[in-house]
């Protein structure tokens, strides 16, 4: 616990519970240079303002230090006014009156800025690419047409972006040749597509190559019919983890 008292000469002391006191000096106020009449007016103005502030319910309830500074100003300005009534300038009480009056009228410090929290990263765009693709072939040809390179490059790129798992590559043939010949033709078609995807960065171990010959036509035809839709390789990407 501590209390303030006025020592000889008007020096403000702060007394702690142990009985030790020390002087608290304030900057010299320019009020000390005023004539007595003007000084009394300035001191009274500060005292009355401090009293009003200590009675302001908003100040009393506030969480800043205005009430504390207003209470100090009221006390010290009251002391200075008392001295001034007897035509005495008590420099220490004048200094403290002016200092605490300035503090009580100062704008409160701004609240600390909230820590910067970066905005959340935008969600990854949903993958809209189809996991199933077909590449078509000319009659009795096991190499895909040139435009197939664009299709295969998209598969390789989408596999990475969409997080696809292994690929199943299935070769097919139409019914224009014998069963054994078409089985080998569909196998070569599937192998060539797998090799092209491997060149585009798809590991060979992530591809399963299957040949169906003419056994699973896309368009059912009579035997011996050259059907372009049946001369194909189907590429199916598994979802990751499946």
Has residue 14 got a pLDDT over 80?
no
Distances in Å between the Cα of 236 and the Cα atoms of 40, 56, 135, 225, 232 are 96, 78, 11, 27, 13
Residue 242's pLDDT is 58
Alpha-carbon span 94 to 113, nearest angstrom: 37
Write down the pTM of the prediction.
0.51
Distances in Å between the Cα of 178 and the Cα atoms of 85, 182, 184, 188 are 128, 6, 10, 15
pLDDT, one tens digit per residue, over 107-145 is 877 778 889 999 998 887 778 889 999 999 999 999 998
Has residue 45 got a pLDDT over 70?
yes
Residue 241's pLDDT is 63
Paired sense of beta strands 2-6 and 12-16, if any: antiparallel
- Report the first-to-last Cα separation within the chain, whole angstroms: 74
Percent of the chain scoring above 90 in pLDDT: 71
Six-digit token pair at 197?
Answer: 């995807």
Which segment of 20-34, 164-178, 211-225 scores lowest on mean pLDDT?
20-34
Has residue 17 got a pLDDT over 50?
no
Residue 51's pLDDT is 94
Ordered structural domains, the chain, with CATH: 2-105 (no CATH), 132-239 (3.30.1330.60)
Which segment of 10-19, 59-68, 158-167, 191-200 scores lowest on mean pLDDT?
10-19
């Amino acid at each position: 616990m501590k209390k303030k008292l006025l020592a000889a000469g008007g020096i403000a002391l702060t007394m702690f519970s142990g009985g030790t006191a020390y002087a608290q000096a304030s900057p010299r106020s320019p009020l000390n240079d005023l004539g007595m009449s003007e000084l009394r007016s300035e001191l009274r103005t500060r005292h009355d303002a401090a009293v009003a502030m200590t009675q302001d319910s908003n100040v009393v309830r506030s969480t800043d230090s205005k009430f504390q500074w207003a209470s100090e100003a009221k006390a010290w300005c009251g002391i200075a006014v008392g001295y001034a009534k007897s035509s005495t300038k008590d420099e220490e009480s004048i200094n403290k009156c002016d200092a605490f009056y300035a503090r009580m009228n100062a704008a409160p410090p701004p609240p600390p800025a909230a820590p910067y929290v970066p905005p959340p990263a935008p969600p990854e765009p949903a993958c809209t690419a189809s996991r199933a693709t077909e590449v078509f072939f000319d009659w009795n040809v096991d190499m895909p047409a040139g435009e197939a390179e664009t299709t295969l490059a998209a598969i390789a790129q989408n596999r990475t972006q969409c997080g696809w798992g292994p690929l199943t590559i299935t070769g097919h043939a139409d019914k224009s040749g014998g069963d054994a010949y078409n089985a080998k033709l569909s196998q070569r078609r599937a192998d060539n597509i797998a090799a092209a995807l491997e060149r585009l960065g798809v590991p060979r171990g992530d591809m399963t190559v299957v040949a169906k010959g003419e056994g699973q036509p896309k368009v059912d035809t009579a035997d011996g019919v050259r059907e372009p839709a049946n001369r194909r390789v189907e590429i199916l990407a598994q979802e990751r983890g499946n």
